[in-house]
Amino acid sequence: MIDDIALTGERQAAARRLLHTPVLSWRTHPRDLALVRAHSDWLVQRFRRVLGYELVVEADHARLAKAGPPGDAPPPRRASGAPLTPRAYAYLALTLAALPECGTPTDTGELAGRVRAAAEEAGLAHDPRARAAERRAFAAALRHLAAWGVLAERGDGSLDGYAAGTDPGAGLDVDAEAAHRALAHPPHSASGPDAFLRSAHDPDPDTDAEGEVALRRLLAEQAVVYREDLPERQRGRLARHQWRAAAELGALLGCEAEVRAEGVALVMPDGEEEAGHAQLPGTGPEGRAALLLVRGLVARVRPPATPARGAEVPDGVLAEELQAALPADPGRGDLRERVLRRLCGAGLLRAPHPGGGGRWQLLAAAARYGSPRPRIRDNGPDRPVPAAAGTGGSSGTDGSGGR
């Protein structure tokens, strides 16, 4: 019995890691990859049946190919938590296009030349050798691919030195198979970017079977699924199948579900912040500030009983709570944007519509943080923040839990 429980726990931990980090390499995640390989048959079958995701497990890497994003895809993030700039993201795509033509080993000079050629072919004016800003954006893309295990520094020069201009170049080893697998949905013939994204994700499938899979994907990938955000058919399916979906996802991921009138959320097991899964409370200054800000807002703005539009947050209230939550330091502006993005991603805040005016809105799941403001000690930049009362540890949510 104990062995069965331990086996189930290992499988679910491996599934959670893949859901959060869909590219695992022996270079970057050796222990996680070993766990996935040990349970590969179970994981391949369960991901395909429950979520319709394809999992490829090789000796040196594993790749979970997910569906397209349910809405606006969150941008790839640097190790600091800051998102890649649009230019760095373009270099990420161009580098993946150029890597098959490179030998292994290679270096930043050869790869930069091939990236420039790929950009010219695509009609883009991107050249890593043109100026310092281009080189830094290119280096950011290379560091992101290194985090995926697609490439690695060889030791003759470094990417940090190359980005700063102190090293003329950096030697790179390329994992050609991992580079090939990096794209979950390789480009194919489509009338445009919107059509390509629609082909990867259908928010309102015609059949109930496809609709159930789409709902389980939403529950697994989004912090909170609000009923009023769903198309009409999907709202009906969620009402009919929510408990079955919760049971299927619980068996795969070892999570619990909170089902309420306003929506559904998964609550991940305690301790997940140590593995980097939790969105709240999280770690470091960003996690502390996010927790303080949402508690401050809940104390002053009553979250709505239904989540359709949320409760408007007066501009002055948001400014005051940001002032109270954020430390006074030179990086305050960047931290402010990251904290607000984190709370939006956690289903607790909704930003004004771009170009449409309006105010920030406090959403229904934020009510979970309605306890008095915490007295939080400084845990240091890499230590977890204490979880909010009643949050079940890492997830901190009636819907804010991390994925």
- Output the domain CATH number for residue 355: 1.10.10
Query: How confident is the model over 315-335, as pLDDT tens digits?
Result: 899 999 999 998 776 656 778
pLDDT of residue 250: 95
Query: How confident is the model over 116-136, as pLDDT tens digits?
Result: 999 999 898 899 988 999 999
SS3 63: strand
In this structure, the answer to whether residues 263 and 322 fall within a common structural domain is no
Q: Across the beta sheet with 225-226, what order do the strands follow?
A: 225-226, 263-267, 256-259
Confirm whether 294 is domain-assigned. yes
pLDDT of residue 252: 96
Mean pLDDT across the stretch 103-109?
84
pLDDT of residue 239: 93
The mean pLDDT value of the chain amounts to 80
Whether 191 shows a pLDDT value over 50: the answer reads yes
In this structure, the answer to whether residues 249 and 278 fall within a common structural domain is no
DSSP per-residue letters across 84-149: PPHHHHHHHHHHHHHGGGS-SSEEHHHHHHHHHHHHHHTT----TTT-HHHHHHHHHHHHHHHHHT
In this structure, the answer to whether residues 289 and 254 fall within a common structural domain is no
Q: Which of 285, 287, 295 is nearest to 345 (CA)?
A: 287
In this structure, the answer to whether residues 287 and 361 fall within a common structural domain is yes
DSSP per-residue letters across 345-394: HTTSEEPPPTTS----EE-GGGGGG-SPPP------TTSBPPPPTTSTTT
What angle separates helix 40-51 from helix 208-221, to the nearest 10 degrees?
120
CA distance linking residue 12 with residue 33, whole number of Å: 14
> Taking the CA of residue 241 as centre, how many other CA atoms within 13 Å lie in the half-sphere pointing to its CB?
19
In this structure, the answer to whether residues 298 and 326 fall within a common structural domain is yes
pLDDT of residue 84: 80
Confirm whether 149 is domain-assigned. yes
In this structure, the answer to whether residues 277 and 336 fall within a common structural domain is yes
Whether 204 shows a pLDDT value over 60: the answer reads yes
Whether 134 contacts 165, CB under 8 Å: no
Confirm whether 81 is domain-assigned. no
- Quick one: pLDDT band at residue 17, thresholds 50, 70, 90? very high
Confirm whether 382 is domain-assigned. no
pLDDT of residue 282: 63
In the numeric block, the tokens 């239904």 are attached to: 306
Which of 267, 286, 318 terminates a domain? The answer is 267
For 373, the token pair is 């403001």
Instruction: Name the residue range of residue 241's domain.
Output: 204-267
In this structure, the answer to whether residues 253 and 329 fall within a common structural domain is no
SS3 218: helix
In this structure, the answer to whether residues 35 and 94 fall within a common structural domain is no
Say how many domains are in the chain.
Answer: 4
Please state, for a pLDDT cut of 90, what percent of the chain lies above it: 36
SS3 34: helix
Whether 242 shows a pLDDT value over 70: the answer reads yes
| Residue 186, amino acid | P
